[in-house]
């Protein structure tokens, strides 16, 4: 029994120091409202608003890819910042016209919002977090379709709330300026279209956090013409979890650096 208590004590000390005061989770949905207030009062004044998407990713990746990735990366970003919480992932985003279907909506299981609906969702979420007492609201999107709308709403609200000292930030470097494509080009120069939809990078990142979402028997190279039939492009055949972990770090570190750059100076 004594040895067991010592072991359990060691495991407790090994737990990472998450941002949430007196809790072991940075996820808003894991906390009570009073715990949210406690965190804000103690300086946890950043809220990360992650958005993913529910869409096809070829025959080899389950449709929740973006949501799993952005939930994982947002938690890691919050831990590195030390004073942030993570809002529930927005899983419904613009994916193309619903009827007649366009874009990703041509594939079963994809869910699409109208762009104005997504914009309203982001704005109302941000207004809710401002009301709660958060001072920096960060939109983090793992999907290309989310980027411009996040940028537009962040700019609109930052202008509106400038005099109140509230910052709304579209964390663009997470998605488009994180160095991951350059790293793949230098590390695996023969990889075909690594950033393509359902290709090497998507597959490796998913392997790193949810290997059960990968259908290993269906990994194969995909050409542009294959997209119409499969919903995938590029070649995922060389992907593995180790590559995925590194790719996720590029996203995480780029986001942390951008957020820290925009925080108010003391």
**Domain assignment of residue 9, yes or no:** no
Does some domain include residue 104?
yes
- R_g of the chain computed on alpha carbons: 20
pLDDT digits (tens, 9 = 90+) for 122-139: 999 999 999 999 999 999
Model pLDDT for residues 137-182, shown as the tens digit of each residue = 999 999 999 999 999 999 999 999 999 999 999 999 999 999 999 9
Q: How many domains does the chain have?
A: 1
Q: Is residue 60 part of a domain?
A: yes
pLDDT in tens, 4-22: 333 333 333 333 334 444 5
Structural domain contains residue 5: no
Find the CATH number of the domain harbouring 98: 3.40.50.10310
Query: What is the reported pTM?
Result: 0.90
> Does any domain span residue 13?
no
Choose among 217, 169, 180, 238: nearest CA to 61: 217
Domain of 117? 18-262
Asked whether residue 3 is assigned to any structural domain, the reply reads no
Of 200 and 24, more confident? 200
pLDDT at 208 > cutoff 50 = yes
The whole-chain average pLDDT of the chain stands at 91
Mean pLDDT of the region 110-133: 98
Residue 62 domain-assigned?
yes
Residue 49's Cβ-count burial label (10 Å; 0-12, 13-18, 19+) is buried
């Amino acid at each position: 029994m004594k040895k067991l208590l010592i072991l359990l004590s060691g495991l407790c000390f090994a737990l990472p120091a998450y941002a949430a005061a007196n809790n072991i989770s940075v996820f808003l949905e894991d906390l009570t409202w009073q715990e949210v207030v406690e965190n804000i009062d103690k300086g946890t004044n950043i809220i990360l608003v992650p958005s993913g998407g529910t869409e096809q990713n070829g025959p080899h990746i389950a449709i929740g890819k973006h949501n799993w990735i952005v939930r994982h990366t947002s938690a890691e970003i919050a831990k590195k910042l030390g004073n942030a919480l993570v809002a529930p992932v927005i899983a419904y985003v613009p994916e193309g016209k619903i009827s007649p279907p366009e874009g990703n909506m041509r594939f079963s299981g994809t869910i699409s919002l109208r762009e104005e609906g997504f914009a309203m969702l982001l704005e109302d979420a941000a207004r809710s977090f401002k009301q709660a007492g958060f001072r920096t609201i960060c939109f983090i999107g793992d999907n290309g379709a989310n980027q411009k709308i996040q940028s537009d709403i962040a700019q609109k609200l930052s202008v509106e709330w400038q005099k109140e000292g509230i910052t709304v930030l579209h964390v663009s470097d997470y998605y488009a300026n994180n160095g991951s494509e350059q790293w793949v080009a230098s590390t695996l120069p023969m990889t075909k279209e690594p950033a393509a939809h359902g290709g090497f990078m998507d597959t490796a990142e998913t392997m790193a956090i949810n290997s059960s979402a990968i259908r290993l028997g269906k990994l194969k190279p995909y050409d542009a013409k294959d997209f119409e039939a499969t919903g995938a492009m590029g070649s995922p055949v060389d992907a593995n979890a180790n590559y995925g972990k590194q790719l996720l770090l590029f996203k995480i570190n780029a986001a942390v650096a951008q957020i820290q750059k925009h925080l108010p100076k003391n």
